[in-house]
Structure 1
Amino acid sequence: METIVFDIGETLVRDDRHWASWADWLGVPPHTVSALVGAAVIQGRDATEALAVLRPGMDATEAYHARVAAGRGEYLDETDLYPDVRPALAELRARGLRVVVAGDRSRRAGELLRALDLPADLVVTSEEWGVTKPDPEFFARVLDVSHAPPHATLYVGDHPAEDLFPAKSSGLRAAHIRRGPYGHWWAGHADVTETADWLIDSLTDLPALLARPAGSPLPS
């Protein structure tokens, strides 16, 4: 591997604040949103469909901009990062690998993530690129910024349909992380285990794991 590219939500960043802020905006308890998101995950649907259940006909993009206008837009700080993010990314860079963060997030999220000064060579979001996953163009952009051929570029994410499968279809290597609702629910699915080059439980698994042949089990 020459370049490691990371998804954002539930790979590097907890989505707790994201869904809690929507619950607050819609005036419902956070656990209501969490339960509906969980139901969407189990059904293999987009988690944002939970918002449509709560407010039928609501345009999520318009609602997002309304939140921003009301001063209740996105916010991220150090507490939103999973604890393994900084040590894992720092070790990968120390080993001479290029580290890129690229996922489905807003332009504002990109600004907030760059302000955290992560040990990464590049941090970019889908809104900044003007294309979202699982569109093949997103992964074409990933390859543009990876500065490495597809077989030497690894995409790490939690979502099978948005991270794992399209990354592999674009010729990249892929690691599925068992983290967040999608990561946990789909971790043992045959399509995931057969498609992923590596299955991980923590980002700190990566440095040692990448030194092993693809498909090798994690050390016990």
Structure 2
Amino acid sequence: MTDGPPLIVTRPEPGNAATALRAGAMGFEVHAVPLFAARPLDWRAPAAEDFDALLLTSAFAARLGGPEITRLRGLPVHAVGEATARAAEAAGLTVARTGTADAQQLLDAMTSQNIQTILWLCGRDRSEFDARGAAITALPCYAVDPLPPPVEWAGLITAPAVLLAHSARAARRIADLVGAARAHLSIAAISPAVAAAAGEGWRDVAVAERPDDVAILAQARALWHKGAK
């Protein structure tokens, strides 16, 4: 896959390296360009018995939650995506449900089962969604801070390329950094909400069928084939 546009991976570490490695094995020309860095926040776990379930929308919550997360092991976890579910299990939590779409669809499934009191272990900056009448307590345990783009960024985005957007916040930042001159660039987004956050004017926008690396890279490969023509 050397005759088509390169792939630019923008997600924070450690996910960036994992995605870049998987993409390289698929034959992409890969550029690892993290535009954010994640770090833990100080937080205190509430009483687990006050909640019906624990909602995790990012693997960072489990990876960076620290020792306080052990106090929540009695709560069933509802996780968005396989990577988040695996991180939760690695932290000693019990995963009851793994969502295969976005946070809103997972929350809809939870409330349909009358799960009404939900602890959302989340990031400092987070997307909003419809609680569907449930009582959701958002508790930030990590932050994802923007990084300045590396010196090679300007050169990478002047030529055709496929950019991966793993979150709505990342999509918005990519759009801001690229600016209006984007008709030669394509976006592979991990969900419809992320695709919407990227805005208009791209050469192509493709949406992963599931919120995981395998699905987003499958869409990137489809975009690569279009760009190689």
Same fold by TM (over 0.5)? no
Q: Which has the larger radius of gyration?
A: 2
More helix by share: 1
Normalising by structure 2, what TM-score? 0.37
Higher strand share: 2
If the length of structure 1 is used for normalisation, what is the TM-score?
Answer: 0.38
| Bigger relative contact order (CA 8 A; separation at least 6) | 1
